Chains A and B, each alone.
Chain A
Amino acid sequence: MSKLLEIALGVVTGIGGFLEAGSLATAAQAGAAFGFRLVWALALGTVCLAFMVEMAGRLASVSHHTLPDAMRERFGIRFFLVPLVTVALVSFLVLASEIGGVCLALQFATGVPLRWWVAPVILGLWLFLWKGTFGMVEKGASLLGLVTIAFVVGALKLGPSPAELAAGLLPSLPGHDPAKYWFIAVSIVGASVSPYLFYFYSAGAVEDGWDESYLGINRIVAGGGMAFGGGIAAAVLVCAAMVLHSGGIQVDRYEQIPMILSSPLGRWGFRLFVASLAIGCFGAALEIALALAYLVAQGLGWRWGESLQPRQAARFALVYTLALPLAGLVIVTGIDPLKLTIFSMALTALSLPVTVVPLLVLMNDPQYLGDHTNGWLGNAAVLAVSVVACVVALVAIPLQIFGG
């Protein structure tokens, strides 16, 4: 496939695959509660994500190691256990939220309560992973995910004031409810910079056989795909700001969110919302389940590969086969899907340094990256965002739990 086509496909995949339960819920809450005032958090999270995805891709292309593989090698098993356990736990909760998102979308469409959808959705996800190839997961769900462009259409139709939108790009102190403001800000960063994305991306680079000649493609796909994808999340924020904020509506349940699209786009708005939620969450669930399997298999040296038959990489297949129903069980308990989503996003932000610091050490190690180690800007940007996000999360999470 020509390099240009690969770039185009990569960027489009990044856009289509961006929106999922976390970015949707956090952007909607932000827009409803604070209008455009939290656009800067989204921009910051997206920029940080773009940097980190590019790094994961560069690591894989130059060193031919995936991220977990390199982390175990470089830091040894004792240190590796920390990111392994942390990321596994947090990703597991995020997986549960995505499954909840798909089930909720189906409930919205059919009226059948969400817990009845858990088993069929898990089965669907599992079948996709069992029989599918890496290409199918990476490209299939993400291309379908382009339906989320509906939010951009909706946002344009609602006609936000460009001046107000631009003002939101500058970080500002909230006029009211600071605990909630910072909690949502931190959740937005957690929703953008999800660790499972790098594990998925680095495994993909190795599955697709990337080498040093792909460094340019990697940069464009990471930068372009994530940036435009972030634009879709921004569109969700805009829609929520214009439809809900003006009416004084705070988002406390997923049921309040579809109206942000039905208001500008009518009947089709509702349908597109449901489709976006279902597809976005389904794709994300596939990626997280795989990322979990990659993390464990690559860290422990097992045979791995989505494009392999399950019996060729049996332990790898067993990881996602067990993770999916366990995550489904979380939803069946009846936990509120929105609270689970927002909370797991905040936890992601809290645990960011655990993923980021090892990655940065690797990215500055010539043994792995040769001449392609990080520049100061990448290091500074990523380190700053993750440390600040963690510290703010440390304060904001307890305040939200115990103060709310």
Chain B
Amino acid sequence: MALACALVLSACARSPASQAADARASLASWDSTLALLGRERARGTLPEKFIAQVLRAAAQEKAGAEARLRAAEAR
């Protein structure tokens, strides 16, 4: 039973190539988010307090994605 689980889980773990692709997709997604944020900001549809929160979230997520990308490329 434990062996079966271990086999399934190891099959689930993705290859470094696909992990790198995921990290790049995440970075692209957040760059697009920031672009959209910029457009909304120019239109004045979002309060500054909220924009600050999105910027903070973007910085956190991008840092995480960059770390994952470096780790995947190092393999």
Contacts and interface: CB of A to CB of B under 8 A. Distances in A.
Contact of B33 (A256, A263, A404): A256
Contacts of B36: 243-244, 247, 249, 259, 263
A116 to B, nearest CB: 14
A258 B45 CA distance: 11
A267 interface: yes
Interface stretch (A105-113, A157-165, A302-310): A105-113
B29 A258 contact: no
B46 interface: yes
Contact of A259 (B30, B37, B57): B37
Contacts of A263: 36, 40, 45
Interface string B31-67: 0110111001001111101101110011001000000
Contact of B9 (A250, A402, A404): A402
Given A111-B53, A253-B61, A404-B22, A269 B45 contact: yes
Nearest to B56: A255
A250 B69 CA distance: 17
Contacts, number: 71
B25 interface: yes
Nearest to B47: A270
A248 interface: yes
Interface in A261-288: 262-263, 266-267, 269-270
Contacts of A270: 45-47, 50
Interface in A103-142: 107-111
A178 to B, nearest CB: 12
A399 B25 contact: no
A270 B53 CA distance: 14
A111 B54 contact: no
A399 B10 CA distance: 10
A249 B52 CA distance: 19
A216 interface: no
Nearest to A256: B33
B: interface residue count bin: 20 to 34
A: interface residue count bin: 20 to 34
Contact of A247 (B12, B32, B44, B57): B32
B75 interface: no
A262 B40 contact: yes
B8 interface: yes
A269 to B, nearest CB: 6
Contacts of B30: 252
B9 A398 contact: yes
B46 A258 contact: yes
A89 B43 CA distance: 44
Contacts of A244: 36
A245 to B, nearest CB: 10
A255 B56 CA distance: 10
A175 interface: no
Contacts of B13: 402-403
B6 to A, nearest CB: 11
Given A248-B28, A249-B32, A255 B57 contact: yes
A249 B12 contact: no
Contacts of B61: 252-253
A392 B12 CA distance: 15
Given A244-B36, A255-B54, 11 more contacts: A249-B32, A252-B26, A256-B33, A259-B46, A262-B40, A266-B43, A267-B45, A402-B9, A402-B13, A403-B12, A403-B14
Interface of A: 107-111, 243-244, 247-250, 252-253, 255-256, 258-259, 262-263, 266-267, 269-270, 398-399, 402-404
Nearest 5 Cβ contacts at the A-B interface? A111-B49, A402-B12, A255-B57, A262-B45, A250-B29
7 contacts: A107-B53, A108-B53, A248-B28, A249-B29, A249-B36, A262-B40, A403-B13
